[in-house]
């Protein structure tokens, strides 16, 4: 059962505001989804190691060479000096 | 009990950890050293830098850690304006596969051992700068992502330190080690950061963040210990909290920081496969690794037969030690050269030692020192003269021989000239001459006068002989 | 030639190179077709007619100068709007990226351009790839060209519909849990999810990075092979990409060992299973064996998929804070964390749900309970399938358990919607290649056959599909538009 506080906490750490309709609908919907994935409990517990991951040799990795990118990556909200303007901290 | 968490940038790298932007972002216009990867643009993927793994592995080895044969990356999820993806790619040991180094030991001078919990490779966030105006009036901040994605090595110790002095010593040795490996130039602005946790017997652990140089660390710890002791003595609780170091006011203050929600929801980074280092990785790395401070120390003492004291002075100044060995290549006379370097030479260049480039732009080169020492050993000049010549070389870059020809500095060994000099002194210092017949100190006084008379060029041994002869045979 | 837009890709390339028509003529025919049907379908979010015509003219010039034009010269490609296209707005069907114009091309786009393909525009999807019908698109849903009241499938619904309706020659989609195969099945076209790592993900806007691949949707297997070979390849910009060999078309289908996955049939609509069985008869006719097998861990597959996909999504979508790119909302009035939350209010419902579930399963109390178990299941499933592939060359079943359904039928119940993916998530969890091939209809609504093979065995998939395509006689063109 996902409580109102838990939902608020999740919304807080995910930095998402829920509108009124969503605040009403979501607890039940999320509950159903969690109930649905609860079936995974039946699987044996062996949570020390994650299996079956892709591997790559160190020799295949990128060389330490500088390549300056030409494009304009950020065009939004730029000041005269080239800083990006963001919302205040406090 | 004190523990450290140090972040050192791998300043030796050309590019960033996950992209090919420049690793040294200093002095570049804001947001000019960026690409779609380090800005976290939609669809971008991290491409890891091979050299970064090598450097961080070397650091692990240098700190006595085990390097695993496979490493993995994790995401640390939290929101913050300086974090382009709102997660940091880092390493994490809780679920098995480990970071680039674990379980190391580092020994301090008094044989005290500090346990190194882990060493991990991760990316630096960007920077938040504040726009003009007082902090209260500001309604926006300025963001610069030039630094975002630069490679960091995080070194975490167990809380094994028991005094700020130990911490200072550790950090000095660490800086030196990092310099020796070539991984991090700790003098570069912003290249190292240190968080400290301090707890008293039975008390809560207080974390101190925002200490931006190794030098400030000792001060911060001292302040915090005082603060905690004071609370303790008044039976007040020491809160489990995070505090910030203010390096202007020199205090720690409680911070309402981003660290409040601590659930980072770590999970393995899907865009980077497990990296297999291979069986020979560590042994190959050890072969290629630059000499570490204590290894060099051993070498200086056993191979060059320098005293421990002299060796220590050289080792603790890597550039000086390098200069020393470069000079040896020209003229192999370790003891003489070492002694000359740590006295006369060192005092001359002392003022410049804080700059990163010191010794590079010096006009004095190993060849100069080598020649100078050769002349001293060949008795061609005296020690005092050598010092004067050094000053001239320092200013002009001329070879010793050139300087000497210009200033007529060769040692006077010619008996006749010396006898005349001694005679002149004897004529002037009649009372000293009388004293000298019974008092050996007065003899030294006379010798000093002879040296002065000859502008330091007299060969002291010969001059002394002549003085003694004359004292006992006044008419000759 | 009035019906140039009906031509298949290889016919287009042949026609342009052979001087039967110019690239410009062809593109004009396509643009006219779009004009005629787009208002009914809503496949496109952004159409770049100017860019397409200009590219076409370049090709015509090159042909005149006898210069090399590339293997895909003149074909028009629709690109799912979660793939980064330089200077062409890329929205992921979200309001959060309303004004986002990428400064770089995805690697697959670079491959296409290098080979003379023409990028036509950006195709509709469920927001950020989360959904099976395009009903979660924040622009508007796309309609199924076979019956406009019905969903086209998703999340690459625009890619499926546009190809089926001949609004473009071929399209690219992405498949995280079935998002290429579902619309391919529902729109009666061919769609391939390649082996994980075959195609570079650089430029694919991540939803669940360990599960997804870019793949082609086409009207014929031959077109599909052309596209797959061009977009495949190890990419230094994608550390998870793996080198692979090109696929050829003229392999004669040998006597393969085929198996039908029992659970997928029993879970299906009656019409669907009937159609699949008759398709499987074709295999037997040419001498393949066709057994029925069971997959032990199947009922954990979908819960495992949703756990992992949501977890990765919650992290991949964290970057959308409107600071560096996004939409218009001034920063001055907010403190940073309130700004972030306010911005992200702009996500659609389904995206929000998945982010919240993702944060939930990754949070410290629940990580072992859900995420680690899902990872473990994934490995077990992959192991089970690899073992099966030692005995069988191909595993088959229906792509979708039901034929296409009407708009609004499943939108109120997320679980009902998730269950639609039950057949397709297996291939994503295991990283194996899977294709959907049109094999019949149920009341005029398309049914697709799904064929899966071992990692990097796309050749076997193609061999079987090419053979089936030639032997199955079904309606290839819709009458609805």
Convert the pLDDT of each residue in C289-348 to its tens digit. 999 999 988 999 999 999 999 999 999 999 999 999 988 898 888 999 999 999 999 999
Which residues 42-61 in chain A show a CB within 8 A of chain C?
42-47, 50-52, 54, 56, 61
Q: Is the pLDDT of residue A26 over 70?
A: yes
Q: Is the pLDDT of residue C70 over 90?
A: yes
C149 or B430, higher pLDDT: C149
| Phi-psi group of B190: left, alpha or beta (phi > 0 → left; psi -120 to 50 → alpha; rest → beta) | left
Chains that touch C (3 or more CB pairs under 8 A): A, B
pLDDT tens profile C203-259? 999 999 999 999 999 999 999 999 999 999 999 999 999 999 999 997 777 889 999
**DSSP line for B135-156:** TTT--EEEEE-TTTT-EEEEEE
What are the φ/ψ torsions at residue C132 (nearest 5 degrees)? -130, 15
- Taking the C-alpha atoms of residue B212 and residue A51, their distance in angstroms, rounded to an integer, is 40
pLDDT at C298: 92
On whether residue C61 sits in a domain, the answer given is: yes
Strands C257-261 and C289-293: parallel
On whether residue C208 sits in a domain, the answer given is: yes
- In the residue annotation, C179 being an active-site residue is answered as yes
pLDDT at C2: 61
Mean pLDDT of C346-375: 94
- Taking the C-alpha atoms of residue C438 and residue C477, their distance in angstroms, rounded to an integer, is 12
Give me the sign of the Cα torsion angle B62, B68, B69, B72: negative
Q: Which of B191-200, B377-386, C175-184 has the highest mean pLDDT?
A: C175-184
What CATH number does the domain containing C14 carry? 3.90.1300.10
pLDDT at C68: 92
On whether residue C182 sits in a domain, the answer given is: yes
A88 touching chain C per CB within 8 A:
yes
Partner-chain contact A83 B41, CB within 8 Å: no
- Taking the C-alpha atoms of residue C453 and residue A59, their distance in angstroms, rounded to an integer, is 30
Q: Is the pLDDT of residue A73 over 90?
A: no
pLDDT at B33: 94
On whether residue C442 sits in a domain, the answer given is: yes
Which residue of B43, B47, B141 is in closest CB contact with C236? B47
On whether residue C464 sits in a domain, the answer given is: yes
Crossing angle of the two packed helices B293-302 and B318-330, in degrees rounded to 10 = 40
- Whether the predicted interface score ipTM is above 0.90: yes
For residue A57, list chain C residues with Cβ-Cβ distance below 8 A: none
Domains of chain B and CATH, by start: 2-282 (no CATH), 291-406 (no CATH), 415-472 (1.10.10)
pLDDT at C238: 97
Determine which of A39-48, B212-221, C44-53 has the lowest per-residue pLDDT on average. Answer: A39-48
Q: Is the pLDDT of residue B476 over 80?
A: no
pLDDT at B56: 96
pLDDT at B133: 54
DSSP secondary structure code for residue B96 in this structure: S
C100 touching chain A per CB within 8 A:
no
Helix or strand run (H / E) with residue A72: none
B159 touching chain C per CB within 8 A:
no
B188 touching chain C per CB within 8 A:
no
Other beta carbons less than 10 A from residue A20's beta carbon: 7
Find the Cα–Cα–Cα–Cα dihedral C462, C468, C470, C471, rounded to 10°: 160
Q: Which of C80, C110, C113, C193 is catalytic?
A: C80
- Name the residue in chain B with its Cα closest to that of A79: B142
- Taking the C-alpha atoms of residue C242 and residue C225, their distance in angstroms, rounded to an integer, is 18
Tell me which residue has tokens 């028009």: C76
Q: Is the pLDDT of residue C46 over 90?
A: yes
Nearest to B266 by CA among B404, B97, B412, B13: B97
pLDDT tens profile B214-256? 888 999 999 989 988 888 888 888 888 888 888 888 888 887 6
Six-digit token pair at B252?
């720690």
For residue C321, list chain B residues with Cβ-Cβ distance below 8 A: 79, 81, 86
On whether residue C440 sits in a domain, the answer given is: yes
Q: Is the pLDDT of residue B258 over 60?
A: no
B136 touching chain C per CB within 8 A:
no
Question: Over chain C, what is the mean pLDDT?
Answer: 95
A66 touching chain C per CB within 8 A:
no
Burial of residue C419, with CB atoms counted within 10 A of its CB: 0-12 exposed, 13-18 middle, 19 or more buried: middle
Tell me what percent of the residues of chain A surpass a pLDDT of 70: 89
Mean pLDDT of C393-416: 93
- Name the residue in chain B with its Cα closest to that of C235: B47
- Name the residue in chain A with its Cα closest to that of B277: A58
SS3 B9: strand
On whether residue C162 sits in a domain, the answer given is: yes
Distances (CA, A) of B270 to B152, C125, C320: 20, 23, 19
pLDDT tens profile B389-424? 887 777 777 777 777 776 666 677 778 888 888 888
Burial of residue B309, with CB atoms counted within 10 A of its CB: 0-12 exposed, 13-18 middle, 19 or more buried: exposed
Partner-chain contact B81 A12, CB within 8 Å: no
A65 touching chain C per CB within 8 A:
no
Strands C434-442 and C190-193: antiparallel
Distances (CA, A) of C390 to B356, C253, C280, C453: 63, 18, 20, 11
pLDDT tens profile B85-142? 999 999 999 887 679 999 999 988 888 999 999 999 999 999 998 766 555 456 888 9
Question: Over chain B, what is the mean pLDDT?
Answer: 87
Distances (CA, A) of C80 to B332, C30, C125, C144, C160: 72, 18, 7, 16, 10
pLDDT tens profile B274-288? 999 988 999 999 998
pLDDT at A78: 84
Tell me what percent of the residues of chain C surpass a pLDDT of 90: 87
Which residue of B35, B265, B281 is in closest CB contact with A58? B281
pLDDT tens profile B308-350? 899 988 888 888 898 899 998 888 888 888 988 888 787 777 6
Six-digit token pair at C199?
């195609």
Partner-chain contact C347 A62, CB within 8 Å: no
- Name the residue in chain B with its Cα closest to that of A87: B140
B260 touching chain A per CB within 8 A:
no
- Taking the C-alpha atoms of residue C291 and residue C392, their distance in angstroms, rounded to an integer, is 9
Chains that touch B (3 or more CB pairs under 8 A): A, C
Helix or strand run (H / E) with residue C113: helix C107-114
- In the residue annotation, C62 being an active-site residue is answered as no
Q: Is the pLDDT of residue B425 over 80?
A: yes
B5 or A75, higher pLDDT: B5
- In the residue annotation, C155 being an active-site residue is answered as yes
Partner-chain contact C324 B40, CB within 8 Å: yes
Spatial neighbors of B27 by CB under 8 A, at least 6 apart, are none
Number of domains in chain C: 1
**Domain residue limits at C175:** 4-254+434-472
pLDDT tens profile C114-124? 999 999 999 99
On whether residue C308 sits in a domain, the answer given is: no
Q: Which residues of A have a CB under 8 Å from any CB of B? A: 12-13, 15, 47-50, 53-59, 61-69, 71, 73-74, 78-79, 81-90
Looking at CA atoms only, how far is residue C238 from chain B in angstroms? 6
Partner-chain contact B145 A88, CB within 8 Å: no
Which residue of A64, A84, A88 is in closest CB contact with B139? A88
pLDDT at B259: 46
């Amino acid at each position: 059962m996902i409580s109102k506080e838990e939902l608020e906490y999740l919304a807080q750490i995910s930095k998402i505001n829920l509108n009124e309709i969503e605040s009403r609908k979501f607890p039940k919907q999320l509950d159903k989804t969690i109930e649905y994935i609860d079936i995974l409990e039946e699987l044996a517990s062996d949570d020390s190691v994650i299996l079956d991951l892709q591997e790559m040799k160190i020799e295949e990795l990128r060389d330490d060479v500088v390549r300056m990118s030409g494009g304009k990556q950020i065009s939004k909200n730029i000041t005269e000096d080239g800083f990006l303007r963001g919302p205040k901290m406090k | 009990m004190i523990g450290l968490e140090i972040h050192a940038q791998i300043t030796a790298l050309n590019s960033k950890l996950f992209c090919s932007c420049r690793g040294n972002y200093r002095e570049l216009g804001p947001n000019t050293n960026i690409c779609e990867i380090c800005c976290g643009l939609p669809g971008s993927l991290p491409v890891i830098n091979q050299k970064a793994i090598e450097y961080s592995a070397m650091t692990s080895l240098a700190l006595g850690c085990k390097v695993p044969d496979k490493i993995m990356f994790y995401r640390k999820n939290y929101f913050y304006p300086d974090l382009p993806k709102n997660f940091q790619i880092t390493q994490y040991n809780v679920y098995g596969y480990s970071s680039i180094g674990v379980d190391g030991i580092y020994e301090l001078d008094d044989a005290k051992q500090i346990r190194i919990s882990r060493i991990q490779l991760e990316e630096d966030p960007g920077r938040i700068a504040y726009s003009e105006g007082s902090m209260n009036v500001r309604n926006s901040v300025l963001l610069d992502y030039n630094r975002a994605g630069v490679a960091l090595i995080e070194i975490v110790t167990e809380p094994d330190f028991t005094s700020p002095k130990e911490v200072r010593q550790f950090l000095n040795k660490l800086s030196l080690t990092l310099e020796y490996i070539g991984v991090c130039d700790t003098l570069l602005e912003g290249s190292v950061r240190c968080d400290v946790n301090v707890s008293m017997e039975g008390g809560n652990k207080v974390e101190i963040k925002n200490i931006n140089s190794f030098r400030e660390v000792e001060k911060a710890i001292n302040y915090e210990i005082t603060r905690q002791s004071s609370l303790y003595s008044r039976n007040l609780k020491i809160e489990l909290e995070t505090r910030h170091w203010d390096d202007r006011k020199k205090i720690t203050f409680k911070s309402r920081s981003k660290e409040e929600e601590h659930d980072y929801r770590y999970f393995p980074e899907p865009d980077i496969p497990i990296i297999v280092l291979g069986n020979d990785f560590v042994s190959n790395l050890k072969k290629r690794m630059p000499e570490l401070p204590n290894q060099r120390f051993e070498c200086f003492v056993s191979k060059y037969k320098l005293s421990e004291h002299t060796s220590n002075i050289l080792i603790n100044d890597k550039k000086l030690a390098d200069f020393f060995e470069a000079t040896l290549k020209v003229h192999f006379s370790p003891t003489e050269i070492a002694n000359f370097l740590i006295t006369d030479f060192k005092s001359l260049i002392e003022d410049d030692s804080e700059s990163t480039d010191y010794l590079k732009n010096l006009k004095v080169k190993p060849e100069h020192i080598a020649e100078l020492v050769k002349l001293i050993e060949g008795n061609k000049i005296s020690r005092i003269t050598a010092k004067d010549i050094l000053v001239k070389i320092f200013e002009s870059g001329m070879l010793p021989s050139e300087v000497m020809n210009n200033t007529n500095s060769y040692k006077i060994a010619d008996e006749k000239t010396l006898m005349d000099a001694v005679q002149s002194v004897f004529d002037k210092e009649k009372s000293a001459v009388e004293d000298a017949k019974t008092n050996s100190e007065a003899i030294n006084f006379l010798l000093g006068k002879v040296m002065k008379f000859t502008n330091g060029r007299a060969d002291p041994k010969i001059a002394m002989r002549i003085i003694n002869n004359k004292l006992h045979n006044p008419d000759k | 030639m009035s019906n140039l837009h009906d031509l298949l890709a290889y016919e287009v390339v042949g026609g342009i190179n052979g001087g039967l028509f110019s690239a410009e003529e062809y593109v004009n025919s396509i643009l006219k077709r779009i004009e005629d049907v787009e208002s009914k379908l809503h496949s496109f979010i952004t159409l770049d007619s100017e860019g397409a015509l200009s590219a076409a003219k370049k090709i015509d010039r090159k042909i005149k100068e006898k210069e090399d034009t590339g293997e895909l010269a003149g074909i028009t490609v629709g690109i799912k709007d979660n793939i980064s296209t330089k200077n062409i707005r890329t929205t992921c069907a979200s309001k959060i990226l309303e004004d986002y114009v990428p400064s770089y091309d995805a690697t697959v786009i670079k491959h296409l351009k290098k080979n003379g393909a023409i990028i036509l525009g950006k195709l509709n999807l469920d927001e950020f790839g989360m959904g099976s019908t395009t009903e979660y698109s924040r622009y508007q849903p796309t309609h199924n060209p076979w019956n406009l009241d019905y969903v086209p499938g998703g999340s690459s619904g625009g890619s499926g519909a546009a190809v089926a309706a001949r609004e473009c020659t071929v399209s690219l989609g992405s498949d995280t849990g079935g998002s290429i195969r579902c619309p391919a099945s529902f729109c009666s076209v061919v769609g391939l999810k390649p082996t994980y790592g075959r195609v570079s993900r650089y430029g694919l806007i991540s939803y669940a990075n360990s599960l997804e691949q870019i793949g082609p949707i086409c009207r014929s297997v031959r077109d599909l092979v052309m596209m797959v070979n061009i977009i495949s390849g190890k990419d230094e910009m994608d550390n998870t990409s793996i080198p692979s060999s090109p696929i050829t078309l003229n392999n004669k289908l040998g006597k393969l060992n085929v198996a039908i996955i029992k659970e997928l049939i029993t879970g299906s609509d009656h019409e669907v299973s009937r159609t699949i069985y008759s398709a499987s008869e074709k295999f037997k006719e040419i001498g393949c064996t066709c057994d029925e097998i069971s997959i032990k861990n199947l009922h954990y597959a979908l819960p495992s998929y949703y756990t992992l996909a949501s977890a990765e999504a919650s992290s991949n979508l964290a970057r959308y804070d409107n600071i560096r790119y996004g939409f218009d909302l001034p920063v001055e009035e907010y403190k940073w964390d309130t700004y972030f939350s306010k911005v992200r209010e702009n996500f659609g419902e389904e995206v929000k749900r998945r982010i919240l579930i993702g944060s939930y399963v990754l949070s410290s109390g629940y990580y072992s309970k859900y995420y680690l178990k899902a990872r473990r299941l994934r490995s077990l499933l992959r192991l089970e399938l690899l073992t099966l592939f030692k005995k069988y060359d191909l595993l088959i079943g229906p792509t979708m358990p039901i034929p296409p359904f009407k708009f609004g039928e499943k939108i109120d119940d997320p679980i009902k919607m998730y269950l639609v993916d039950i057949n397709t998530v297996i291939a994503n969890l295991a990283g194996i290649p899977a294709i959907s091939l049109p094999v019949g209809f149920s009341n005029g609504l398309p049914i697709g056959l799904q064929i899966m093979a071992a990692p990097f065995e796309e050749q076997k998939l193609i061999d079987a599909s090419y053979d089936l395509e030639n032997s199955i006689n079904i309606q290839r063109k819709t009458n609805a538009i």
